[in-house]
A = this chain, B = another copy of it.
Amino acid sequence: MAGRRCLVTGGLGFIGANLALALARADADVTVVDACYPRHGANPFNLEAEGGAAVRRVTADLADPAARAALDGAELVFNLAGQVSHVDSMNDPVFDLDVNTRSQVAFLEALRWAAPGATVVFTSTRQLFGRPKYLPVDEEHPVNPVDVNGITKHAAEQFHRLYHDVHGLRTSVVRLTNVFGPRQRLRDDFQGFLPIFIRRALLGQPISLFGDGSQERDCLYVDDVVDCLVRAATCGDAVGEVFNVGNDEHLPLKTIADLIVGAAGSGSVEMVPWPPDRDAIDIGSYFGDSSKAKRTLGWTPATTFAEGIERTVAFYRAHLDRYL
């Protein structure tokens, strides 16, 4: 990646910052664009690490002219900017649409003129599949979002595909399962179950599991996601494609919580009944089929959940005050 001009949108957030640091350490020329919206994942401390000093920072929504200016000369665009909280998406759906779809359309229009030859990797979410009709969920699985976030991210995916098909942009889509690791916002309960579990364990609080905790999930350690995104950006066969990126290690939520409590050495796990307002958006078990990503990108996750959570806990033990 040495010398390659990379733009990372959402680059002050969890995955974006880990990616930007990895690219900078590989001597890429890295710019991050981040709107720094409150409650989203942006955290300036995320780039206070090896490689971070070389990363240029632009504070902008993707629809802003500053984001377009940042595209000048970009070769590889890692498009991670977005609102990821499904709770917030249900409470403020117009803002979710604005951030996750409208700004993405404006950014794709800017790409057409400012960097038409760039390769663009858009990160999407397993959330758009809703309750799986079968497991593991592959790319042919019907899309059936059960929350606003799933609708708005899916629309943004479709725009990326359309701009490839009609305008020739070199776009691909990577649909991520639950990701964990250093630099994730832990402050509140709006960004998925893993940061909630990790925070509660680190603070010595109980982790509440709805139902019996038997629903299975596949989780990815952030370094494996970074590896996948870099491969997608540099693999010609990825252009125009969509990839479901999950993990063959499927764990019940109860096991995930127990492993987190074990790694933290604090906290506990308790079972509670499903609250009625969550029941409508429960999806049961979910795990993805990553065969296409493995085949096309030569990617495979290298980190077990137990290994990843040990590293994650070690990071937050040193920096917890920066993430609460």
**Min CB gap A108→B, angstroms:** 8
User: B142 to A162, Cβ gap below 8 A?
Assistant: no
Complex-state Cα separation, A145 to B159, whole angstroms: 10
A155 interfacial by beta-carbon distance below 8 Å: yes
From residue 60 to 84 of chain A, which have CB atoms closer than 8 A to chain B? Answer: 63
Complex-state Cα separation, A77 to B129, whole angstroms: 29
Copies of the protein in its oligomer: 2
> Using an 8 Å CB-CB cutoff, how does the interface string of A264-293 with B read, 1 for contact, 0 for none?
000000000000000011000000000000
CB-CB < 8 A to A97: which residues of B?
101-102, 105, 155
**Min CB gap A237→B, angstroms:** 21
Complex-state Cα separation, A66 to B94, whole angstroms: 18
> Using an 8 Å CB-CB cutoff, how does the interface string of A129-159 with B read, 1 for contact, 0 for none?
0000000000000110111100110110011
A165 interfacial by beta-carbon distance below 8 Å: yes
Complex-state Cα separation, A105 to B93, whole angstroms: 7
A166 interfacial by beta-carbon distance below 8 Å: yes
**Min CB gap A275→B, angstroms:** 14
A106 interfacial by beta-carbon distance below 8 Å: yes
A216 interfacial by beta-carbon distance below 8 Å: no
Complex-state Cα separation, A145 to B163, whole angstroms: 12
> Using an 8 Å CB-CB cutoff, how does the interface string of A164-186 with B read, 1 for contact, 0 for none?
01100000000000000000000
- Considering the complex, give the chain B residue whose CB is closest to the CB of A157: B151
A90 interfacial by beta-carbon distance below 8 Å: yes
> Using an 8 Å CB-CB cutoff, how does the interface string of A210-233 with B read, 1 for contact, 0 for none?
000000000000000000000000
- Considering the complex, give the chain B residue whose CB is closest to the CB of A106: B94
User: A151 to B145, Cβ gap below 8 A?
Assistant: no
Complex-state Cα separation, A146 to B167, whole angstroms: 12
A109 interfacial by beta-carbon distance below 8 Å: yes
> Using an 8 Å CB-CB cutoff, how does the interface string of A101-126 with B read, 1 for contact, 0 for none?
11001101100000000000000000
**Min CB gap A209→B, angstroms:** 22
User: B166 to A280, Cβ gap below 8 A?
Assistant: yes
CB-CB < 8 A to A143: which residues of B?
143
Question: Given A145-B162, A165-B146, A166-B280, do A152 and B155 touch, yes or no (CB 8 Å)?
Answer: yes
Binding site for B on A (CB under 8 A): 63, 90, 93-94, 97-98, 101-102, 105-106, 108-109, 142-143, 145-148, 151-152, 154-155, 158-159, 162, 165-166, 280-281
Could you list 7 A-B pairs, sorted by A, with CB under 8 Å?
A94-B109, A97-B102, A97-B155, A102-B102, A142-B142, A146-B162, A151-B155
Closest 4 CB pairs of A and B: A155-B155, A151-B158, A166-B280, A93-B105
